[in-house]
Structure 1
């Protein structure tokens, strides 16, 4: 099935998807969560892929899968090379990306929220992703990611509110 894929960027991505699904026993949602950093080249002809999200994982260590199939290793390395060539090779970026009809990578919409949840600023997110013209939109996704993680969207605002609360308790009206 993988050998029947034509030599296009979308087909390369599809072959990588097939290899990862097979060797990592990945569900669709797990494959979508892979980041470039999930793949580690540990030696000639050997990759280690770490899968962090699974309903069977009970800790933060995740699971490691070794891939030593020469065709799979070559396809995955070539795909990561293509991402790097297009300026989309930051380790925090998604590994599997949509390829449009023009053989270009589509912008990543969830990454700003994910990076915002991890504490990156809008400027840092814009620099990492490289495909946002509006800082306002990046900031919107960053705040959304922070809220989903149960963190305040604006740390400075939260700090000021906390200081005001402390000040209010210190200065009690005299009765």
Structure 2
């Protein structure tokens, strides 16, 4: 085999190895994003011009999320929020509109307590998607119903559904499962 042929074979092998490495990295990132974002991954792909653009958006959300100073809740704080939620649920029977408004406010307060931004719904939604992707659709539904309520277009059944949606996100933000895992690790 001539030197030129040998160099040609080596170059081809190196190009193939480099291509495999790039493709492996690409597919591993895609898998990681799918696992981390769950249903939010598919939603981002559907809303985007391409899968690559959606994945860039999700990576950017991760970068922004990494800048946050998220805090776990102290047990006393967690209990205080849980009691507040119970009071709001009890209030629903007599004043459902006010209960939904207070549920929205309590969820926003809990986000702030944990270290999430509370200005701008779209930013909240994007940053919550990084760690709370599985309950984010509940937040969207509750927010949509709250907006309809503001326009006087939400029925009592809609308001009940909003409370259920808010509760799902509330419990996720409250972090009960995370705390059980931390306590089990001690």
- Say whether the fold is shared (TM-score over 0.5): no
Q: Please state which structure has a larger fraction of its residues in helix.
A: 2
Looking at CA atoms only, which structure, 1 or 2, has the larger radius of gyration? 2
TM-score (norm 2): 0.24
Question: Which has the higher relative contact order, 1 or 2, with Cα contacts under 8 A spaced 6 or more apart?
Answer: 2
